[in-house]
């Protein structure tokens, strides 16, 4: 899934900073695949997807983007403190990192990010049902 149409998903909106741009490119490339595997284990899926959209939004302040991109990059890493393939506990460290990041930048999550998140989650569920 590539996400919804709109400015915050267009490639030309990648950050000009090389490190942030690399993190953003990694998050764009791996987020939906990892999210699909972890969605049932994450109790706050809408917040995670809203954080994804917030991190890619050019209107999001740089510090908030950095926090979110770091947490989302950790989320998509297959090997981290607790390997994601371990049943029941695999995504527990990812959930902790995401919870802290989202709490830190919650004021930057807009209604537009939440609407995009709801639409993406609905589309993902519909795609799974159709398959």
- Let me know if residue 5 belongs to a domain: no
- Let me know if residue 2 belongs to a domain: no
Cβ proximity of 20 and 69 under 8 Å: yes
pLDDT value of residue 99: 93
pLDDT value of residue 20: 58
- Let me know if residue 1 belongs to a domain: no
Tokens, residue 27: 């998050």
User: How many independent structural domains does the chain possess?
Assistant: 1
pLDDT value of residue 33: 85
- Let me know if residue 119 belongs to a domain: yes
The pTM assigned to this predicted structure is: 0.73
Stretches in the chain below the pLDDT threshold 70: 1-20, 78-91, 131
The parent domain of residue 56 ranges over 16-130
Secondary structure class of 55 (helix, strand, coil): helix
- C-alpha 102/C-alpha 83 separation (Å) is 22
pLDDT value of residue 6: 44
- Let me know if residue 73 belongs to a domain: yes
- Let me know if residue 76 belongs to a domain: yes
């Amino acid at each position: 899934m590539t996400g919804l149409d709109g400015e915050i998903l267009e490639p030309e909106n990648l950050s000009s900073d090389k490190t942030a741009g690399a993190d953003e490119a990694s998050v764009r490339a791996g987020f939906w695949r990892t999210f699909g595997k972890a969605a049932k284990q994450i109790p706050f899926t809408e917040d995670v997807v809203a954080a994804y959209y917030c991190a890619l939004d050019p209107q999001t302040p740089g510090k908030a983007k950095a926090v979110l991109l770091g947490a989302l990059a950790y989320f998509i890493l297959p090997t981290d403190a607790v390997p994601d393939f371990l049943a029941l506990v695999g995504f527990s460290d990812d959930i902790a990192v995401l919870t802290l990041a989202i709490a830190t930048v919650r004021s930057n999550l807009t209604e537009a990010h939440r609407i995009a998140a709801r639409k993406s989650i609905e589309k993902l569920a519909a795609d799974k049902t159709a398959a």
